[in-house]
Structure 1
Amino acid sequence: MHQEETQQTVVSFIKVLTAERRDPYAWGDMFPSCHPFLEEHHSPINLDHQMIRNESLGPLHLEGFDAIQTGHWTLKNDGHSVILQVGSGMSVSGGGLPDVYHTIQLHFHWGGPATNGSEHTVDRRRYPMEMHIVNMKSIHPNLTAALDDPTGLAVLGFFIDVVYAENLHFGHISQKLSSVAYKGQTTKVKPFPLMSLLPKHNMSQYYRYYGSLTTPPCSRVVVWTLYEVPIYISWSQLAQFTSQIFSTEEDAEQVTPLQNNFRHIHPTFSRIVSVSKDAKLLSGTAGSSLSSAVLLHLLQILLLGCLISEL
């Protein structure tokens, strides 16, 4: 498939995804597979300690993520998110994935000035943001074909947390946000090593499950890989998303901030959520029990001290 045809397919796919997404619970009116009562195998989900360690899940192979790709990338406000279309040159494989997947774009989900907005949650905790790197199975000529394959897409999800220091690498994107403040606006981005955005020393720590797109048409075709260690950005970089991006066009009579663009949590049902061999979350179960035991012991000492003082 020629690169121009691939880009046209991506654009058409994005147009589908941007239709009628203001209320996730109403998506089913236009996209039957998004219906809120068809819960099985949907995304996002909550990640908790009811997961199974899989010793065969090692780090994924991220081909081209360390390189500076040729040409240019495009950053776009589609009215629901900010999307970075990265063109060709990168792929994802290994780590239990069933095939090689070509990287096509990444995008973000966030909350508001005073609310968190990651799509997936960890022990019911929602992070400030979440970044998704979308990859299409290499055997498919376009995204339309990939949406007919139960494992047609592989999405790498990264939680984004906040610290006081600026993330210089994240600046490749955040410094361009003012150019795509309004729906429909696009700007060129000079390619940079995508790995510079990621927690490169913790890429073997992740969770894996099978689910769906979190936007219409909500197709259940995604192999999800959610990384345990978040990306850290500054408060000011977060504010650029939560306060300075709009879901309406620049000449709209009333401009609307683009906020809380995440889908509600869905039950896991009978799905297995796997933990990679190096992930740390499951070890927290023992830590939690230990903490409870220590607190109980301290409480017993305190009560005993009170009894002795009254004698």
Structure 2
Amino acid sequence: MLRHFLTLLVLPGLVVNSSSSRSSSEEEKEHDDGSREKESNGHHSNGHGVPWGYKDQTAWTFNFTDCSGKSQSPIDINTRRAIYDPTLPPISLEGYDLTDDSALTLWNNGHTLELILPNTMRIVTGFDHEFLAAQLHFHWGTPEVPGSEHTIDNVHFPAEIHVVHYNSKYANISEAASQSDGLVVLGGFIQIGLHENENYEKILAVITDVSIEESNTEIPGFNVRHLLPNKLDRFYRYNGSLTTPPCYQTVNWTIFNDTITVSRKQLKALENTLKAGQEEHLNKNFRAPQLLYGRHVLASFMASSTIKNPGLGRMGERNQSTEQSEGLSRGDILAIAFGVLFGVSLLCFLLYTYQQHRKYTSITKDPRQNVIYKPAMKAEA
């Protein structure tokens, strides 16, 4: 574990210096002299040696070229525009059930709470290659401002978990970061439930030990699979970027439809415990949703509002008929039906009124209506 941790700390240069072939990866991590970004998620005080923060996200585009690209993350997932793709294979995980004698390093890197994972954890099916785990981290807000990065139909969730993996055909995550098939990230939405989540408590129980930026601690291994939703078969898929500088557009995102629940107390611990710098609270560490610019979001399941296109190739283009039918939800159809019904009813009423008016007009114009009837008078004998 120590060797793996040291490897993660010295990976940096490959990510910073690799400006070519970027199209499908996620959050990187580097921690070398504080002069390079974190290799697996880009989460440190510097990207190319340039400090950054969440308060002024527009400044990212000036210091990091990719942050102004057209394949950025996170995004809003519009369920009406998601395309059902039955060819998306189910995701299968192995090695996630860690024994308690395998220590995991938890640390506060100044931008998130991160847990370093052993590469014995892996995704064995769901993609074209095996993907090895590197780390997981969280994004959150405040009690007033929900802090998930991705949104569903413009709705934010209280928090979001990202589990970062790299392609097993590469030597390490730093090498994989610049490759189009290099990284895969599994994302899940965190909501408030009625009960405490005992699996999240394994992390949150020691969160005070890493309250100061750059502090770390070790926790016993546990079943990391339980940090994700119970079912992994319903998910959205799209190509995007790191959600932090340097915003490399090299991430293959999988966002699960089912959510994870934690107690209000547990979420509060995440929102209020960590610090960035000396005094500043570490919260609202989420990037605003980015524009799609023509990208397509695929869905592994068929929902009432999901576009069905069985002939679509993975991450492929929609056909013309799909484009034309896009956007007609059940509500749209009902609205159109009621509109047509109202129009027909109005037309019938107008026709009836017109006929009645004509009938009345014809009566008033009848010359006989002006004749005064006088019965004949019979002369008396």
TM-score bracket relative to the smaller structure: 0.7 to 0.9
- Percentage identity across paired residues of the two chains: 31
Does 2:297 align with 1:273?
A: yes
Does 2:242 align with 1:213?
A: yes
Q: 1:244 to 1:59 in 2, by over 3 A?
A: same
The C-alpha deviation readout for 1:178-200, integer Å capped at 9, x for no partner, is 11111011010111011122222
State the alpha-carbon separation in 1 of the partners of residues 304 and 255 from structure 2. Answer: 13
Q: 1:67 to 1:189 in 2, by over 3 A?
A: closer
Match of 2:124 in 1: 93
* Residue type of the alignment partner of 2:61: G
Q: 1:4 to 1:108 in 2, by over 3 A?
A: closer
RMSD of aligned Cα (Å)? 2.5
Q: 1:199 to 1:278 in 2, by over 3 A?
A: farther
Greater strand share, structure number: 1
Shift of 1:286: 5.3
Q: Work out which of the residue numbers 109, 113, 138 in structure 1 matches 2:168.
A: 138
- Other structure's SS at 1:150 match: coil
The number of aligned residues is 286
Q: 1:76 to 1:3 in 2, by over 3 A?
A: closer
1:205 touches 1:279 (CA, 8 Å); kept in 2?
Answer: no
1:149 touches 1:221 (CA, 8 Å); kept in 2?
Answer: yes
Match of 1:235 in 2: 264
Q: 1:240 to 1:133 in 2, by over 3 A?
A: same
Q: Highest CA radius of gyration, 1 or 2? A: 2
Match of 1:180 in 2: 210
2:197 touches 2:262 (CA, 8 Å); kept in 1?
Answer: yes
Match of 2:8 in 1: 7
Shift of 1:71: 2.4
Q: Work out which of the residue numbers 89, 92, 101 in structure 2 matches 1:58.
A: 89
* Residue type of the alignment partner of 1:213: L
Does 2:65 align with 1:32?
A: yes
The C-alpha deviation readout for 1:70-120, integer Å capped at 9, x for no partner, is 52101000000000001231011322x232110010000001131100000
Q: What aligned pairs does 1:1-311 form with structure 2 within 5 A after superposition?
A: 3=4, 6-8=7-9, 9=11, 10-12=29-31, 13-14=37-38, 17-18=43-44, 19=46, 20-22=51-53, 23-34=56-67, 38-48=68-78, 49-68=80-99, 71-95=102-126, 97-200=127-230, 202-248=231-277, 252=278, 255-277=279-301, 282=306, 288=331
Gaps of 5+ in 2: 12-28, 32-36, 308-327, 343-381
- Point out the more displaced range, 17-26 or 46-55: 17-26
State the alpha-carbon separation in 2 of the partners of residues 232 and 41 from structure 1. Answer: 30
1:205 touches 1:277 (CA, 8 Å); kept in 2?
Answer: yes
Match of 2:372 in 1: none
- Other structure's SS at 1:164 match: coil
The C-alpha deviation readout for 1:247-292, integer Å capped at 9, x for no partner, is 12xxx3xx00111101111111121210003667639x85655887
Q: 1:199 to 1:291 in 2, by over 3 A?
A: farther
Superposition TM-score, scaled by structure 1 size = 0.84
- Other structure's SS at 1:170 match: helix
Shift of 1:56: 1.4
1:21 touches 1:80 (CA, 8 Å); kept in 2?
Answer: no
Q: 1:50 to 1:85 in 2, by over 3 A?
A: same
State the alpha-carbon separation in 2 of the partners of residues 246 and 7 from structure 1. Answer: 23
